[in-house]
Amino acid sequence: MPLPAPYEEFENHQALLYRGAVTLLAGGPGSGKTITSLNIVNRLRVPTLYVSNDSTKYTIINRVFSMLTEQDMLVGKEIIESKPELARKFLAQWAQVRFDFSSKPDVHEILRHGDAFRELFGEYPHLTVVDILMNIDHEGVAEQNYWRLMPELKELAGMWNTALLAVHHTSESAKGDPCPPMSAIMGKANQLPELIMTQAIQGSRVHYAVVKNRNGPSDPAGKTTFTLPIFPAQFRIEDSVDEDTDPTAIREIVLPEEGEDW
């Protein structure tokens, strides 16, 4: 069964993350892949294991805090450093998200984190994010050949019954219109994923293309797209946005309700 759609447009285009299967989210450098993956985690609010091998713990804390409070990351950085207890109260909303910040983990290390997650919460994560695929240590990594890695990730997804979202690169030489086609996915990583989406940012919108979908329509050329409003400085993607909203404004921070959980 799929997890709930994080955005209405994902539902409309049947771009759903299925438990027991691998989803690939790909794009070029600076296309906002981590913004998308963190916002998916935030909007789904399910028990999650997040393998962050491309960002430091401090960077993730700053991004998540800015997303939760709708503050510019420069403002969020000041609050985190000057009022850590306030930041802690907001970050407690992510109590059922566990991170692995190893820079070069292998699949066995991810498996150990999954077992630790089950020991802590009584079940495996419903969602597992690997951000980013090229930093997973595996046979063939030197040649950027992911054919050997993908079966292991698919087996892991099935064993845990988790929706595994892998963040990946597309070739910089492949120019999308605006999203890269499926042929731009690096390293033979196309065969096993249930769903493959590519993305690109243009101005204040992030564009998504479903280039492979075993459970719905797709366009391998990446020309059929949908868009969502994006606020990179706040690390935030919304379903819709009020045109009068100023994303650079400093907002009043409203504390979560006492005891608020998932």
pLDDT tens digits, one per residue of 103-161 = 999 999 999 999 999 999 999 999 999 999 999 999 876 667 788 899 999 999 999 99
* Cis amide leading into 178 (omega within 30): yes
> What is the average pLDDT score of the chain?
92
Distances (CA, A) of 200 to 28, 32, 34: 7, 7, 12
pLDDT digits (tens, 9 = 90+) for 219-242: 999 999 999 999 999 999 999 765
- Cβ-based burial of 243 (10 A; exposed 0-12, middle 13-18, buried ≥19): exposed
Q: What are the pLDDT digits (tens) for 52-88? A: 999 999 999 999 999 999 999 999 999 999 999 999 9
Query: pLDDT band for position 188 (50/70/90)?
Result: confident
pLDDT of residue 146: 87
Contact (Cβ atoms closer than 8 angstroms) between residue 57 and residue 101: yes
d(CA 15, CA 141): 28
pLDDT at residue 39 in the model: 98
Global pTM value: 0.92
**Residue-wise DSSP of 158-222:** HHHT-EEEEEEEB-TT---SSSPPGGGBSSS--SS-SEEEEEEEETTEEEEEEEEETTS---TTS
Whether 92 contacts 98, CB under 8 Å? no
List, in order of start, the domains of the chain with CATH numbers.
8-237 (3.40.50.300)
